[in-house]
A and B are shown apart, each in its own frame.
Chain A
């Protein structure tokens, strides 16, 4: 806004905005604080200043082998996203640069597969996994999450690729560029940012997925979402430990998320809001 705003108004809005923002962020902040408390402190009543012990972090690793679900999360999230990209890049590319009459219908149909409620296919997917030995394997989850996110990946890439002007390719060709040169020097630099954003958003979505991960894993392949859900019973993790496990589980994604705010809007609204 270009208008001059009085300093007092500005300070007033700032206080209000920060108050609301901190209120919304508070549960996360409180979990981070609690993760640095001892178990006694954690249930000793409201206190924003922990004793900064790392005890809970150590115990989460030594008692529950935290590293394994963490690595499962990394492999499943990255694996499913990379696989989806491999399939989606050529498809989105073809639809953006050689559209046919049916391209729009195909895109809408892909979107419609995303509307299928996961629970509707719980029975067949579970039975297929049970019979093929895919239950509780990372391979199985990579396949399911890849298929689940494929429509979003195609859509996001399509909206990015569509913004690359086709004339630039022709210009490069006129100047005598070979196909290899065309891809390396003209297309790649323009396509990479879109691909990177798509990669980031889909890692976030796959990392936080909590229906299939809980249904299809027990101990071996359980990623963090399933691992932490298993501590819902009263005899589960104590609170400081739960907080430490939670902090470690959300920290990487929180940071990635902060960097992908803009892409988030675009990816999750299928380009309907930019």
Chain B
């Protein structure tokens, strides 16, 4: 197939996708980098000037920045913990011989297809609302005082919503991996009298290790960018209690019109995401050969 003619045709076929992505990657990123060194506010564009590293310095020394980094970490780690542990348990449960497995699967993966604003608003209004939510109804049923979740535990509430959205993803991928587990090996271990917990630790977990890694890495990339869930529930508050880095940059750019500051924050977000990306690329790259 590799005549010169087909090769130049192949190059022609690849070119549009490569060129488009090259532009999409380089132009905005270069602009962000450039803006991050400018003193540039959309409310006062005439006063634009070179700022050097001021924006970075300003961003770093702002207590809100460190708070947002901490919140980002708590959000990512919290959601990962819930979804990975929950995903393993649910995947193993669905993998058991049960009646109506197909429907159970469908019910479990459904939250993944709910768009973030809808998911967050359903939880905010119908589940966690302090006077009309289902949680409040349950509390009242037991004679307890309903909790105002978003005021008292804002970050935890968001973790709960985001974990609900991502639990199906983790479950589905771990289930796929679980179903490729060698049944005979498992049976042999069972006949040799290995208890269930040992079978899980020495057979199931190592088999799922790769899938777990993939789940963690892919979710991390998406979880660093959680935005709509915060926007429609807490707006980042109270104070900065539920502001993550994405939300902080959004606020700088769109509510404070601080282009320079938002750009400096954006560069920091790129660095953070890249650290995660390197690990993911390694995991995926191995599979390519």
- A124 and B218 in contact (CB under 8 A), knowing A90-B14, A117-B269? no
Closest CB-CB distance, B260 to chain A, in whole Å? 9
Distance between Cα atoms of A9 and B60 in the complex (Å): 57
Render A78-98 as a binary contact track against B, CB cut-off 8 A, 1 for contact.
000000000110110111011
Q: Is B13 an interface residue (CB 8 A)?
A: yes
Q: Is A172 an interface residue (CB 8 A)?
A: no
Q: Is A66 an interface residue (CB 8 A)?
A: no
Using CB atoms and an 8 Å cutoff, list the residues of chain A in contact with chain B: 1-3, 5, 9-11, 13-14, 16-18, 20-22, 24-25, 27-28, 30-31, 34, 42-43, 45-46, 87-88, 90-91, 93-95, 97-98, 100, 104, 106-108, 110-128, 147, 150-151, 154, 166, 169-170, 204, 207-208, 210-211, 214-215, 224-226, 228-229, 231-232, 239, 242-243, 246, 249-250, 253-254, 256-258, 261, 264-265, 268-274
- A229 and B10 in contact (CB under 8 A), knowing A17-B96, A150-B21? no
Q: Are A120 and B21 in contact (CB under 8 A)?
A: no
Using CB atoms and an 8 Å cutoff, list the residues of chain B in contact with chain A: 1-2, 6-7, 9-14, 16-18, 20-21, 24-25, 27-29, 31-32, 35, 90, 93-94, 96-101, 103-127, 132, 134, 137, 164, 167-169, 172-173, 176-177, 183, 187, 210-211, 214, 218, 221, 224-225, 227-228, 231-233, 245-246, 249-250, 253-254, 259, 262-263, 265-267, 269-270, 272-274, 276-277, 280-281, 283-285, 287-289
Interface SS majority for chain A: helix
Q: Are A116 and B288 in contact (CB under 8 A)?
A: no
Q: Are B214 and A272 in contact (CB under 8 A)?
A: yes
Q: What are the 5 A-B residue pairs with the smallest beta carbon separation, nearest first?
A: A90-B13, A124-B31, A232-B232, A91-B17, A115-B277
Chain A residues within 8 Å of B116, by CB: 208, 210, 225
Chain B residues within 8 Å of A232, by CB: 117, 120-121, 124, 231-233
Distance between Cα atoms of A253 and B265 in the complex (Å): 34
Q: Which of A1, A124, A224, A274: most chain B CB closer than 10 A?
A: A124
**Could you give 9 example pairs across A and B, Cβ below 8 Å?**
A31-B122, A110-B17, A115-B277, A119-B227, A121-B266, A154-B17, A204-B113, A225-B117, A225-B118
Q: Are B249 and A150 in contact (CB under 8 A)?
A: no
Residue on A with the closest CB to B287?
A: A272
Q: Are B221 and A254 in contact (CB under 8 A)?
A: no
Q: Are A261 and B105 in contact (CB under 8 A)?
A: yes
Of the candidates A115, A119, A124, A261, the one whose C-beta lies within 8 Å of that of B27 is A124
Of the candidates A17, A117, A224, A243, the one whose C-beta lies within 8 Å of that of B126 is A243
Q: Are A27 and B164 in contact (CB under 8 A)?
A: yes
Residue on B with the closest CB to A24?
A: B108
Chain B residues within 8 Å of A269, by CB: 173, 214, 218, 284
Closest CB-CB distance, A248 to chain B, in whole Å? 10
- A210 and B115 in contact (CB under 8 A), knowing A94-B10, A151-B21? yes
Of the candidates B25, B104, B246, the one whose C-beta lies within 8 Å of that of A113 is B25
Q: Are A261 and B172 in contact (CB under 8 A)?
A: yes
Q: Are B246 and A119 in contact (CB under 8 A)?
A: yes
Closest CB-CB distance, B236 to chain A, in whole Å? 12
Q: Are B93 and A94 in contact (CB under 8 A)?
A: no
Of the candidates A17, A31, A215, the one whose C-beta lies within 8 Å of that of B98 is A17
Q: Are B284 and A211 in contact (CB under 8 A)?
A: no
Q: Which of A106, A226, A250: most chain B CB closer than 10 A?
A: A250
Q: Are B110 and A122 in contact (CB under 8 A)?
A: no
Distance between Cα atoms of A5 and B20 in the complex (Å): 55
- 16 extra interface residue pairs, beta carbon distance < 8 Å, beyond A119-B225, A214-B117: A27-B119, A30-B127, A94-B10, A115-B280, A119-B250, A121-B32, A122-B250, A122-B266, A123-B253, A123-B266, A150-B21, A214-B227, A232-B233, A258-B109, A269-B214, A272-B210
